[in-house]
Amino acid sequence: MTRSIIKAADWTLAPETAEGTPQGTYSAVCLTCGAESPTPDSERLPAEVWALKHTGLHPRHRQFKARTETFWRVTPAEGNPHRETDPRSAQAPA
């Protein structure tokens, strides 16, 4: 048995805002054959164009699963002892 004690108030979950991190990435999977669009992109358009081209090449493949992934970061909240060693918390205004 696994037992976890979580103090939700000591940690904060928020979207990752580090430089170079996209707000989200987009990709698509053909539900007929399982083919996947190339590397997820921070723009929707490449996955949409890939799906249209895939159907153009395989006219019976018309259903896709659109994937969107986002990025999160957990940071120590006020009063959490890890806050002192967290570089992002040190940059935050007091």
Site residues (CB under 5 A) for Zn ion?
30, 32-33, 35, 58, 61
Give the nearest distance from C-beta 32 to Zn ion in angstroms: 4
Neighbours of 90 (CB within 10 A): 9
Least Å distance, CB 55 to Zn ion, is 8
Query: Within 10 A of 42 (CB to CB), how many other CB atoms are there?
Result: 11
Q: How far is the CB of 81 from Zn ion (least distance, A)?
A: 52
Whichever of 23 and 63 has its CB closer to Zn ion, that residue is 63
Q: At residue 66, what are phi and psi to the nearest 5 degrees?
A: -90, 130
Query: Which CB, 55 or 89, lies closer to Zn ion?
Result: 55
Nearer to Zn ion by Cβ, of 35 and 77: the residue is: 35
Are 69 and 25 spatial neighbours (Cβ–Cβ below 8 Å)?
Answer: yes
List the one residue out of 51, 24, 17 whose CA is nearest residue 37. 51
